[in-house]
Structure 1
C-alpha cells in the first residue's frame, strides 16, 4: 500500500496567515492597554512602598525622616518629576547633611506620568512616632495620556502617616476629574 503524504497548499497557508494577522491586529490595542495599566499599577505600588518605608524608618530609627524630590540628591526641590529621596533629617532642614543618611531613592521613567504633591509643605516628613510632621497631603499620579481617566490615582497620606489609594469613579466628567485629581 502506498501512503499518501499530503501537505497544506499555498492557498491554505495564506488563508491561515491572513486570519492570524487580523486577530493580531485586533488584539494589539487591548494588549497595549494592559501593558500601560500594569505600568501604572507598578509605579503606584512603588510610590506607596517608598512612603511606607519612610514612615517605618522614622519609627525604627526614632528620628525625623524626609521624603521629597531632589535633582541633586542633597536638597529637596519642589519639582515632583525629580527623583524621590528618603533620608534621616533630625534637624528638619530638608537636605542631606554630612551626618545624615540617604536611605532610598526612586526615579520614575521619564514621560511615564506626572506627579503632583498637594500639601502645606513641598515635602513629606515623618516624626519618630510615624506621624506626618504638621500636615497630611496627597500625591497625585497623572498619566501622560490625559484621556486615560481610569489611570488617575491619588495616594492620600493621613496625619497618622497611613497611606490609601484613591481612584476616579467610572463615568466621571473631565471637569470633576480635574477638580478631584488636579491633573
Structure 2
C-alpha cells in the first residue's frame, strides 16, 4: 500500500504545478499552491490531507475575498508523510507569477517519507523553471 501511495506522489505534484503554472499565465496573476485540511483556507503542514490552488491578486499568500479557488484536491496520505520546505519568501506555499508562470528564485522541495519502507524517501525539488526533479533522500 505504501508503494502504491509513493508512486502517486510524483504525478500528483507535477499535475498541480503544471495546472497552477498554466492558470497563472492564462489569468496573468499570481497563483498559489498551499496545503489545507479544511479546503477553505491555507493551513500549515497539511500536505498529507490536501491542497488548494488559488489566485492571489494581493500577493499575501492567503485566500481573500475576490480571489478564486481554482482547485481543491483531497489527498489522504496514510503510509508516509508529505512535507514542503520552501524558500525564505515562500516558506509554506508555492507561488507562481502571473507574468511568467514561474516561481521567483528557488521555491523549495517536497519530501515524501515512508513510515515503514525508508527506500521510498524522496525529495521532489521544484526548479526555477517549475520543473520537478526527483531524488532519493535520507532527510526525513
> 1:103: which partner in 2?
70
Which of 85, 98, 112 is the aligned partner of 1:141? 112
Q: Which structure: greater strand fraction?
A: 2
1:67-124 CA-partner distances (Å, limit 9, x unpaired): 0112332332221334211011111122222311111122222423211111222111
Structure-1-length-normalised TM-score: 0.66
SS in 2 for 1:104: strand
State the structure with bigger RCO (CA 8 A, min sep 6), 1 or 2. 2
Structure 2's unaligned 5+ residue stretches are none
Determine if the alignment matches structure 1 residue 91 to structure 2 residue 58: yes
Question: Do 1:117 and 1:138's aligned partners in 2 also have CA atoms closer than 8 Å?
Answer: yes
Alpha-carbon distance between aligned partners in 1 of 2:79 and 2:2, rounded to the nearest angstrom = 9
Determine if the alignment matches structure 1 residue 126 to structure 2 residue 96: yes
Structure of larger gyration radius: 1
Q: Which structure: greater helix fraction?
A: 1
Structure-2-length-normalised TM-score: 0.83
Determine if the alignment matches structure 1 residue 49 to structure 2 residue 15: yes
* Cα drift, residue 156 of structure 1: 0.6
Alpha-carbon distance between aligned partners in 2 of 1:151 and 1:61, rounded to the nearest angstrom = 37
Which of 27, 30, 41 is the aligned partner of 1:61? 27
> 2:120: which partner in 1?
151
* Structure 1 ranges of 4+ moved more than 4 A: none
Aligned residues: 135
> 1:78: which partner in 2?
44
